[in-house]
Amino acid sequence: MVGQSGDAARQPKPVPLMQAIPLPYDQVSLQHQGVEMMRFHFANTLRRPFVFPIQGPSGRSLTRMGHPHDP
What's the domain range around 47? 13-54
pLDDT score, position 23: 97
Residue 46 lies in a domain: yes
Give the number of domains in the chain: 1
DSSP string, the chain: -----HHHHTPPPPPPSEEEEEETTTEEEEEETTEEEEEEE--TTSSS-EEEEEB-TTS-BS---S-TT--
pLDDT score, position 56: 86
pTM of the model: 0.66
Residue 5 lies in a domain: no
Residue 4 lies in a domain: no
pLDDT score, position 70: 55
Mean pLDDT, each 10-residue run in order, the chain (71 residues): 63 88 97 92 94 87 70 50
Residue 61 lies in a domain: no
Residue 70 lies in a domain: no
pLDDT score, position 40: 96
Residue 45 lies in a domain: yes
